[in-house]
Amino acid sequence: MGIVELENVRKVYPLGKVQVEAVKGVSFCIEKGDFISIAGPSGSGKTTILNMVGLVDQPTDGEVFLDGKPTSKLKDAELTRLRHETLGFIFQSFNLIPVLNVWENIEFPLLLGKTRVGKDEKKEWIDHLIEEVGLSDWRKHKPNELSGGQRQRVAIARALVTRPQIVLADEPTANLDSATGEQILELMKKINRELETTFIFSTHDARIVDIADHIIRLRDGLVTENVRRGEPAAAACSSGESAGA
Amino acid sequence: MNTIANIALRNLSRQKKRTILLGSAIAFGVMIVTLINGFAGAFSANVAENFSDLMAGHVFISGTEKGAKDKDVSVIRDDTALTAAVKASGAPVKYVTRRSAFSGTLIFEGKKIRTNVDGANLDEETFLRDRLLLKEGSWDAMEDRGALILSEKIARKLNADVGDTILVQMQTVTGQSNVGEFRLAGISFDAGIFGQMMSYANLSYVNELIGLAPDEYQTMGIMLDGLKRTESAAASIYAGLSGDVQLFERGVKDEKGAETPFQALMRQQSKETWDGVKYRLFTINEILSQIKQIVAALDTAAAIILVVLFIIIMVGISNTFSIVMFERIGEIGTMRALGVQRGGVRSMFLYEAVFLALGGAIAGIIVALVAMGIISLFDFGMENPAFIIMKNGHLSFYLPPLRAAGNVVVIALLTLVAVASPAGKAAKLTPAEALRTQK
Ligand SMILES: Nc1ncnc2c1ncn2[C@@H]1O[C@H](COP(=O)(O)OP(=O)(O)O)[C@@H](O)[C@H]1O
Ligand SMILES: [Mg+2]
């Protein structure tokens, strides 16, 4: 069942007097619970696509469907609410909030939005996540006291704390050495299986795409390969499953 | 605590140097303004109290008779009713003074100066000896009927020394020109512009010069045990006098804006006619109602300084927060991606500004209070030209709490205005822009 669908998405950035077409008409369908890799060299449009899937940016043309619903007409406040409720984010440079400690960084998304979680339930869940990412001894530490790998583990826990349907990770291993990067990916994969959370990660490193169920390769803003479990994947979600199809 | 406010607070302590710098700027401004406010707050009470000393009373009663051609003659011929009323009022009276005075020209070896001369009964007004310290000469020389005490500046202008004979020209109460001779018995310490109010002679001799009988006088001064009871004492003495003697109405309203109540009373008096002596009761507050204007001017100056100083400080704060916004652009992007709404980003900056303003302002007030405490320890003595604004020779301060609170609110509001634009810019960023600009 398709959870994310891009339909003829284009993204044009104004750059001084010229227009840069970063994404030139991309369509794909992502199945719920998959572990997806968006792969391509630097400048191929990975970040631009993840930003649009993550509702932090909007396409110039085309439509992004999230859980079957179109998102291009939504206002900023609604997009923000939707991000908070359905998406988790992992960034290349970790992006923890420097003044908050490990526990507080993970807690932070739970303090936003309208729904409030019970205190005990919240504590239990955060403690569970901290254990899951292997940082039980580091709860009170500030981000600047952690290694890159540890910071990315905090970010993973933070991305999961709201129990999002989809976690987006833009080159989550690019700032880590390859061994640590592998561990991070293994951790994401493990959580993907355990919680059945859809993970979409981008990478420019051809060696780490094999871990994915579904690989979408990009070059110059176009999809060059779209393979799911060894089979060519359809560019559109099958009709009936997506409101836009 | 609210998460956003909590983060704002921690952001302040994260950048300690910058916070201390901006906070100190705010604190400094608030300190200056608080000092001026505190000075102004004590100013009017100090001046009134010192003037009470100079004029020997808090509450005054003067008498006026209609002379030839309806000219007003200032005289109290018989004060039994007045004395009785003062006694019966139950007011906390320290002592009662009886004075006559004239404004005339002193002449010595071709030099002239206009001054006011008070005739006092120095046997009664023993406190004057303690209050007015002499630089040269002695109070004992006042035994001499024509003796005169001048303040330093006036004596210097005349170039007269103790023992010199000084000629005086003045008018009697009925308007005749008259001349007399004084002998300079003492020179008091410089009292600045108030020196002219501090020439003292014997009551009996002044009476002779202005054409009053030896046991008559012009103004009764009632010195209370403090300024605070002035108005209630005045009211009860006035009530005691009503019915017994002819009395001018009290508290004539200020008809023209520029007039003090005292001037208004004088104008009203010159329009009426009556027989015998009619009495007027007034207080130091009425005489010094212009002091309120000075206090208002000081407070206005403080307000202007507050605004000017703070516009400068606010420009600094506004610029700093613009830089802060760029430094934290990645954090802003992250928060927006995680689900913080635009308003949340804006409030984060506004909270930070308000905490900074409150911290700075409160520190400024505390420093000012400490400074006031220290400054008021210094004894400038009673013989300095600025004594009139001091309390027993010490600078004193009173900070009205509402004014202090008002200053804090003004600072907080100005700071909010200063960061409104950077906060607005931060809120307006799309999350993608913010995340992209971070590196
Ligand atoms: N805000 C922008 N303004 C102009 N050009 C941009 C902007 N963002 C990205 N680009 C351009 O779009 C193309 C795709 O960028 P991006 O999505 O960041 O690629 P990737 O993440 O694969 O490296 C690149 O050529 C990049 O220079
Ligand atoms: Mg990228």
- Give the ligand at the shortest distance from the Cα of A40: 1
Query: What's the domain count of chain A?
Result: 1
Under DSSP, the state recorded for A109 is G
Query: Using a 6 Å cutoff on CB, does residue A228 contact ligand 1?
Result: no
Q: Is the pLDDT of residue A245 over 60?
A: no
Residues B273-321 pLDDT 10s: 788 899 989 898 888 877 777 778 888 888 888 788 888 888 999 999 9
**Do the domain assignments include residue A21?**
no
DSSP symbol at B393: T
Contact between residue B13 and residue B19 where contact means Cβ atoms under 8 Å apart: yes
Check if B342 contacts A (Cβ < 8 Å): yes
Q: Is B335 on the interface with A (CB under 8 A)?
A: yes
B257: confidence class by pLDDT, cuts 50, 70, 90? very low
Q: Check CB contact of B66 with chain A, cutoff 8 Å.
A: no
Pairing label, strands B277-283, B59-66: antiparallel
Higher-scoring residue by pLDDT: B161, B261 = B161
pLDDT by residue (tens digit) across A71-94? 999 999 999 999 999 999 999 999
CATH of the domain at A88: 3.40.50.300
For position A233, what pLDDT does the model report?
92
The yes-or-no verdict on residue A16 having pLDDT over 70 is yes
Closest residue to atom 24 of ligand 1, CA basis: A43
pLDDT tens by residue, B183-213: 999 998 766 666 667 889 999 999 999 999 9
In a domain, A93, yes or no: yes
More confident residue, A132 or A245: A132
- Banded model confidence at residue B328, pLDDT cuts 50, 70, 90: very high
pLDDT at position A239 is 63
Residue A133 lies in a domain: yes
| Dihedral sign computed on CA atoms, order A65, A71, A77, A78 | negative
pLDDT of residue B191: 65
pLDDT for the residue numbered B251:
64
Paired tokens of B411: 């600072």
Check: CB of residue A142 under 8 Å from CB of residue A97: no
Distance CA(B322)–CA(A123), nearest Å, equals: 37
> Distance, CA A10 to ligand 1 centroid (Å)?
13
Q: Whose CA is nearest to atom 7 of ligand 1?
A: A13
pLDDT score at B195? 66
Q: Is A28 helix (H, G, I), strand (E, B) or coil?
A: strand
Beta carbons within 8 Å of A173's beta carbon, 6+ residues apart:
A152, A180, A181, A182, A184, A185, A203, A205, A208
CA distances from A153 to A104, A146, B436, B439 (A): 14, 10, 22, 21
Per-residue pLDDT tens over the stretch B353-404: 999 999 999 999 999 999 999 998 888 876 666 777 888 778 889 888 998 9
Q: Residues of chain A with pLDDT > 90: what percent?
A: 82
* Residue A44 Cα: closest atom of ligand 1: 22
Measured between beta carbons, the chain A residues lying within 8 angstroms of B436 are 47
User: Which amino acid would we find at residue B398?
Assistant: Y
Neighbours of A76 (CB within 10 A): 15
Question: What does residue A100 show for φ and ψ, rounded to 5 degrees?
Answer: -105, 145
**A15 lies in some domain:** no
Neighboring chain A residues of B341 at a CB cutoff of 8 Å: 77, 80
pLDDT for residue B194: 67
DSSP conformation letters of B255-313:
-STT--HHHHHHHHHHH---SSEEEEEEEHHHHTHHHHHHHHHHHHHHHHHHHHHHHHH
Q: Which of A48, A168, A175 best tests ligand 1's pocket when mutated (most atoms within 8 Å of CB)?
A: A48
Judge if ipTM > 0.90: yes
Q: Minimal CA–CA distance to A34: which of A220, A237, A223?
A: A237
**Ligand 1 pocket check: which of B436, B437, B438, B439 to mutate, most ligand atoms within 8 Å of Cβ?**
B436
Residues 6+ apart with CB under 8 A from B339: A80, A81, A83, A84, A85, A109, A112, A113, A162
- Given a cut of 50, is residue A30 above it in pLDDT? yes
How far is residue B300's CA from residue B316's CA, in Å, rounded to a whole number? 24
Give the whole-angstrom CA distance, residue A171 versus residue A204: 8
Per-residue pLDDT, averaged over B61-67, amounts to: 88
Ligand 1 atom closest to the Cα of residue A204 is: 22
Q: Is B54 exposed, middle or buried (0-12, 13-18, 19+ CB in 10 A)?
A: middle
- DSSP H/E element including B325: helix B289-327
Task: Kindly list the residues of chain A whose beta carbon comes within 8 Å of any beta carbon in chain B.
Answer: 47, 51, 54, 56-57, 76-77, 80-81, 83-85, 89, 91, 93, 95-100, 108-109, 111-113, 158, 162
Contacts for A177 with CB less than 8 Å, ≥ 6 apart? none
Interchain contact, B333 vs A95, CB within 8 Å:
yes
Question: What's residue A241's pLDDT?
Answer: 47
Which residue in chain A has the smallest CA separation from B336? A80
**pLDDT score of A171 more than 80:** yes
Domain of A109, in residue numbers: 33-60+73-231
Q: What is the mean pLDDT of residues A219-235?
A: 94
Q: What is the pLDDT of residue B262?
A: 60
**What DSSP designation does B245 have?**
B
Does the model's pTM come out above 0.90? no
Q: What b/e string do you get for A165-179 counting C-beta neighbours within 10 Å, with b at 16 or more? A: bbbbbbbbbebbeee
The mean of the pLDDT values for chain B is 87
pLDDT of res. A70:
96
Q: A56, B336: Cβ pair inside 8 Å?
A: yes
- Please work out, in degrees rounded to the nearest 5, the angle formed at the alpha carbon of residue B279 by the alpha carbons of B275 and B283: 160
